Amino acid sequence: MKATKLIFIMMPLSIFLAFMWAPPAEILGESSRIIYFHVPLAWGSVLAFVYSGIVSILFLADKKGKYTLLDERAYNSAGIGMVFTILAIISGAIWAKMSWGSYWNWDPRQTSITILMLIYIAYFSLHSALKDNESKGRICCSYLIFAMITVPLFIFIIPRMYPSLHPDPIINPERKLKLNAQMRTVLMISLFSFTLLYFYLLNLMNRISFIDNKYKEKYYEE
Amino acid sequence: MLSEIFRNLRKDFRVEFRNRAAINISIAFAGITTLAISLTAGGVSFSPRVQSIMLWIIMFFSAMNGLAHIFIREEEERTSLFLRLNSSLESVFLSKLLFNFIFFLILQVVICPLYIFFLQVDVKSPLLFLLILVSGGIAISSSTTILGAMVSKAGGKGSLFTVISFPILLPVLWIAITSTTDALEKRASAGFGNTLFFLAFSGVIISISFLLFKYIWVE
């Protein structure tokens, strides 16, 4: 995964562009710059969750053991997803304080990301409770798949239940990305950089899991 | 397979009602919580929204004390291996699902009259109220059956069951609370549609659980 090393160029570039090149939004002012970090973090948290779910399906379907350490990969992805989710919640809360006057008001978007965090917390609780269980991988992967099935329900239910203050509907009722060309470019670069960051970290953690596994195999052989 | 399901179900009820651990704890928890709310409120009546929130929160936490017990007991009493050898996967899952559904229904039969009596709840649309309770119960018990199987493998540790069930059951609780409020205020329009949502949700969850159960149950 040499391509992920592009992160060392892309991340400083996106930070530079977010603060120095992108203009402030008309109504929201300088606080709008948080969009270049908050949106990619939220995207990364969902990407990590979907990746964990798909890898979990592969783990359960892979009866011949064609792939190695799939359950560990799902766990590692969930770990990165959890960090991204917490950072997305914090950055969202800071932005909410600056534009709505309070850190938290159960906006549908805040609610959805909190539920995602609760699913991650539940998954890690189950993972740690099954520490010495041989079926740990199967049970944890089953839980992730089970949780993944319920997530789309929130996407349809929550917006029906609560009105949203989130900027998208306010700025454009048609729900299209109507940003200034410069802002849109920076947002896209930032989204790409955070996706790269996710894959870079995932690759790193998977390699650590692989080495750890090799070490344990050797240790138990001796 | 039907006879196997009913045999397992009969066995589960016999064992459960021999010591009544799960049902006693759940009913006692529900009774104490309802009384505590009524006592501390001191006769103050709540709005329909608050009443339905409290009703479902009481039902959710009472059920959490008992719904996982059906699988945890098999592991604690070391009868799970015997059950695995003796009954097919499908019959074990379906019998446990039916047990949980009946268990939740029994809980509701006890909790609801107590709640209505102590908190002076005025149900303006009893039919919708009943439908929401039954369909919500089906949705909760169908989601928690497989989660109970997962928790039993972890040794039924503390509140793990509540922690892993809560994010899954949130859509059910949300809709149930809104529909119960409608039933209390006699705004039945959307309420009947929501019972369909519960049945659809249960159908999806049962299908997925059915597919995943073998990965959890078979060692």
Residue-level pLDDT at A171: 41
- Please check the confidence at residue A167 and state whether its pLDDT lies above 70: no
B163 or A164, higher pLDDT: B163
Share of chain A above pLDDT 90, in %: 34
**CB-CB neighbors (< 8 A) of A154 in chain B:** 170-171
Distance in Å from the first CA to the final CA of chain A: 33
B216 Cβ under 8 Å from any chain A Cβ: yes
Across A24-33, B96-105, B172-181, least confident range: A24-33
Report the distance separating Cα B106 and Cα B198, nearest Å.
Answer: 19
Mean pLDDT of A41-65: 89
Mean pLDDT of A114-142: 87
Residue-level pLDDT at A113: 83
CB contact under 8 A, A157 and B212: no
Task: Identify whether the C-beta of residue A134 lies closer than 8 Å to the C-beta of residue B152.
Answer: no
Mean pLDDT of A50-69: 87
Quick one: B179 exposed, middle or buried, by C-beta within 10 A (0-12, 13-18, 19+)? buried
Task: Identify whether the C-beta of residue B7 lies closer than 8 Å to the C-beta of residue B15.
Answer: no
- Please check the confidence at residue A95 and state whether its pLDDT lies above 90: no
Report the distance separating Cα A77 and Cα A50, nearest Å.
Answer: 9
B172 Cβ under 8 Å from any chain A Cβ: no
Q: How confident is the model at residue A90 (pLDDT cuts 50, 70, 90)?
A: very high
For chain A, what are the domain ranges?
3-22+30-221
E-assigned strand segments in chain B: none
Report the distance separating Cα B160 and Cα B125, nearest Å.
Answer: 36
Report the distance separating Cα A39 and Cα A195, nearest Å.
Answer: 11
- Please check the confidence at residue B62 and state whether its pLDDT lies above 50: yes
Mean pLDDT of A57-64: 87
Least Cα distance to B75 among B163, B148, B166 occurs for B148
**CB-CB neighbors (< 8 A) of A126 in chain B:** 150-151, 154, 160, 164
- What is the tens place of the pLDDT at every residue in A62-78? 877 777 788 899 999 99
Which of A115, A139, A149 lies at the smallest CB-CB distance from B153?
A139
ipTM score: 0.85
Which of A130, A141, A147 lies at the smallest CB-CB distance from B167?
A147
Record the pTM. 0.86
Report the distance separating Cα A122 and Cα A114, nearest Å.
Answer: 12
Residue-level pLDDT at B188: 63
- What is the tens place of the pLDDT at every residue in B138-156? 999 998 999 988 888 886 5
